[in-house]
C-alpha cells in the first residue's frame, strides 16, 4: 500500500465506515477498521471528509439494498474524489450490481472483505467498480471479530454462516456454511474486551446455537454452545453476557438452566419465531413447529419468571392467508413474551420463496406489519409494568440523548434519567418507579448509589 510517504510527512490517510444490518456486521466492521488503523489510516466519522469510504452492506431486506445508493451519494457529497468500497452480504450476492453504482470503486465478497487493505493501492478512483468475489462454497474459513460501540457493550462474533435452508433467506448464499471460532480465541477476545473496561458482551453470529460446528475447519464438534456459555461465564471482569438471536430448536434446557444460575449471563433471550402458523413454518422450512416454541418460552419463564423474551416474526410470506396471519397474531398475543421485531416479507433473488404461489399484496403485508408492531408496543408496555417496584441493576450508556442518559437492566428494560456523565459505563442498583410518556422507565437509586 502506497502510504509510506504520507506517514513520513505525518499525513495519515483517512477512512470512514458505514454499516448496514446486524450486530454481526458491526463486529466485522470494527475488526476491518482496526486493520486499516494498523496500516496507518486514521478512522473518522462517515459524515467527515475521508480519502476512502467503506460501506458494509446487508441484504436481508429490500430496504437495505435501496439504502446503499443513498449512502454512496452521501459519501460523494462530502468528498467527490474519495475511493468508495462496498463489502458484505449484498456485495457477495450482487457484486456486479453494486459495482455499477456511480461512484463505487471496489466491491469485495465474503472472504475478500477481511483482506481489503490488500486490494487498495493509491486510492485513485476507478472508471468502473472493480469486483473481487469468491464462489460462496469457498467461504469456509473463520475470521474472528468484535465491535466496541459506546464503551459500555461489545458485540463478540463467535460463529458465521448457516447450514439451514429457510426458503426466504439469502444468508447461506451470502455467508457460506456454518463455522465457528475456536473456543480459545473467543475467550481471548472476551478477555481483550474486558481489559478495555467494557462491562457487557453480546454474543453474535448468524446461527450461534450451532456453535462448535467448523471450529477446526471441518464438521467435527469438540465444543457445543453450552460449552461456550460455561467457558465465557468464567471470564474475569465481564459483568454481563447477553445471548443475541438463537434458534428455538438449538436453545436447549441445559443452556436455559445454566443461564438461570449464572452470575454473568443475563435473563434476556431473542428467539426467532417467524410465524405462529405451522403451515407457514413448513413453507418456510423452519426446523420446529409452534408447540416447540411454546415449550421454550414456558421453560424460560419457569426458571426465570422476569426474563425478557424478544421474538422475530415475518409477515406477508407467500401463501399466508388472513387465517394464517390471525393464527400468528393470536399465538403471539397469548404468549408470555416481551417485544417483537417485525419484518415485512420481501422477495429475494435465488430463494425458493421468490417462486412460490400465493403472493401477498404489498398493502396487505404493510397492514399486517402495522398490527404486529402495535402488538409489540402492548407487549413491551405490559412487560415494563410487570417490573415496576422491583430492584434491578442498570448499566448506563455513554450518549447524551436530548438531556437524558439511558441504560438497560439485565432483563432489557430501558430506563432514563437526566444526563449525568459520571454514570456512563457504571452499574447501579435502582428501583423502577414509573413509565414515562415516551415509553421508557423512570427509577430511583437504591439506598446505596455507589457503583456495584
Mean local confidence (pLDDT), 67-82: 93
Residue 2 pLDDT exceeds 60: no
* Predicted pLDDT of residue 123: 80
The phi, psi pair for 61, rounded to 5°, reads: -125, 160
**415 with 430: CB under 8 angstroms?**
yes
* Predicted pLDDT of residue 399: 87
* Predicted pLDDT of residue 292: 98
Q: Could you read off the pLDDT of 218-234 as tens digits, one per residue?
A: 566 689 999 999 999 99
Q: CA 284 → CA 36, 92, 166, distances in Å?
A: 40, 23, 5
Domain residue limits, the chain: 12-136, 143-382, 388-443
**3-class SS letters over 89-108:** HHHHHCHHHHHCCCCCCEEE
* Predicted pLDDT of residue 209: 96
Q: Could you read off the pLDDT of 30-65 as tens digits, one per residue?
A: 989 989 998 899 999 999 999 999 999 987 666 766
In CATH, the architecture of 143-382 is Alpha-Beta Horseshoe (3.80)
Q: Could you read off the pLDDT of 338-382 as tens digits, one per residue?
A: 999 999 999 988 999 999 999 999 999 999 999 999 999 999 999
Tell me the whole-structure pTM to 2 decimals.
Answer: 0.85
- In 45-104, beta strands by DSSP E: 52-57, 83-88
Concatenating the DSSP letter of every residue in 426-449 gives -EEEEEEEEE-TTSPEEEEE-S--
Q: Could you read off the pLDDT of 245-284 as tens digits, one per residue?
A: 999 999 999 999 999 999 899 999 999 999 999 999 999 9
**244 with 255: CB under 8 angstroms?**
no
Neighbouring C-alpha atoms within 13 Å toward the C-beta of 176:
23
* Predicted pLDDT of residue 109: 85
Same topology for domains 12-136 and 143-382, yes or no? no
Say which CATH topology domain 12-136 has.
Rossmann fold (3.40.50)
**247 with 272: CB under 8 angstroms?**
yes
Q: Provide CATH code, domain 388-443.
A: 2.40.50
Comparing 80 with 121, the larger pLDDT belongs to 80
* Predicted pLDDT of residue 219: 61
Q: Could you read off the pLDDT of 307-321 as tens digits, one per residue?
A: 999 999 999 999 999
pLDDT band at 139; cut points 50, 70, 90: low
pLDDT band at 7; cut points 50, 70, 90: very low
Percent of the chain with pLDDT over 70: 91
* Predicted pLDDT of residue 308: 98
pLDDT band at 452; cut points 50, 70, 90: low
pLDDT band at 172; cut points 50, 70, 90: confident
pLDDT band at 298; cut points 50, 70, 90: very high
Percent of the chain with pLDDT over 90: 69
Nearest to 176 by CA among 205, 150, 201: 205
CA distance 3 to 12: 8
Mean pLDDT of the chain: 90
CA distance 2 to 11: 12
* Predicted pLDDT of residue 6: 45
* Predicted pLDDT of residue 127: 72
Amino acid at each position: 500500500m502506497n502510504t509510506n510517504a504520507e506517514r513520513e510527512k505525518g499525513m495519515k490517510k483517512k477512512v470512514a465506515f458505514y454499516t448496514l444490518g446486524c450486530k454481526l456486521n458491526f463486529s466485522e466492521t470494527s475488526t476491518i477498521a482496526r486493520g486499516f488503523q494498523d496500516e496507518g489510516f486514521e478512522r473518522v466519522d462517515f459524515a467527515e471528509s475521508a480519502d476512502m469510504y467503506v460501506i458494509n452492506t446487508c441484504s436481508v431486506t429490500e430496504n437495505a439494498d435501496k439504502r446503499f445508493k443513498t449512502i454512496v451519494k452521501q459519501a460523494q457529497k462530502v468528498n467527490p474524489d474519495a475511493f468508495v468500497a462496498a463489502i458484505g452480504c449484498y456485495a457477495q450476492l450482487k457484486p456486479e450490481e453494486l459495482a455499477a453504482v456511480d461512484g463505487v470503486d471496489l466491491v469485495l465478497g465474503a472472504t475478500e472483505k477481511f483482506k481489503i487493505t490488500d486490494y487498495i493501492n493509491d486510492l485513485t478512483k476507478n472508471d468502473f467498480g472493480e469486483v473481487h468475489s469468491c464462489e460462496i462454497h469457498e467461504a469456509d474459513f473463520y475470521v474472528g471479530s468484535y465491535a466496541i460501540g459506546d464503551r459500555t457493550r461489545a458485540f463478540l462474533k463467535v460463529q458465521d454462516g448457516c447450514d439451514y435452508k429457510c426458503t426466504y433467506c439469502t444468508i447461506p448464499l451470502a455467508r457460506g456454511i456454518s463455522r465457528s471460532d475456536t473456543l480459545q480465541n473467543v475467550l481471548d477476545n472476551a478477555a481483550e474486551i474486558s481489559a478495555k473496561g467494557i462491562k457487557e458482551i453480546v454474543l453474535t453470529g448468524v446461527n450461534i446455537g450451532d456453535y462448535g460446528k467448523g471450529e477446526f475447519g471441518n464438521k467435527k464438534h469438540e465444543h457445543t454452545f453450552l460449552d461456550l456459555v460455561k467457558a465465557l461465564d468464567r471470564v474475569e471482569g465481564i459483568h454481563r453476557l447477553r445471548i443475541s438471536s438463537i434458534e428455538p430448536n438449538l436453545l436447549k434446557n441445559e443452556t436455559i438452566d445454566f443461564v438461570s444460575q449464572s452470575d454473568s449471563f443475563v435473563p434476556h433471550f431473542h428467539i426467532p419465531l417467524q410465524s405462529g402458523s405451522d403451515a407457514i413454518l413448513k413453507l418456510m422450512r423452519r426446523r420446529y413447529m409452534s408447540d416447540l416454541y411454546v415449550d421454550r418460552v414456558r421453560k424460560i419463564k419457569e426458571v426465570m419468571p422476569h426474563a425478557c423474551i424478544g421474538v422475530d416474526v415475518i409477515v406477508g410470506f407467500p401463501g399466508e392467508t388472513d387465517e394464517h396471519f390471525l393464527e400468528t397474531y393470536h399465538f403471539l398475543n397469548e404468549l408470555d413474551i416481551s417485544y417483537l421485531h417485525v419484518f415485512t416479507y420481501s422477495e429475494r433473488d435465488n430463494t425458493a420463496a421468490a417462486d412460490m404461489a400465493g403472493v401477498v399484496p404489498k398493502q396487505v403485508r404493510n397492514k399486517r406489519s402495522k398490527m404486529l408492531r402495535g402488538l409489540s408496543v402492548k407487549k413491551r408496555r405490559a412487560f415494563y409494568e410487570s417490573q415496576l417496584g422491583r430492584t434491578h441493576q442498570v448499566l448506563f450508556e455513554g450518549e447524551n440523548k436530548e438531556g437524558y442518559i439511558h441504560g438497560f437492566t439485565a432483563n432489557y428494560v430501558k430506563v432514563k434519567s437526566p444526563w449525568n456523565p459520571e454514570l456512563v459505563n457504571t452499574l447501579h442498583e435502582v428501583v423502577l418507579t414509573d413509565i414515562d410518556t415516551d415509553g421508557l422507565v423512570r427509577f430511583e437509586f437504591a439506598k446505596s448509589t455507589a457503583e456495584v
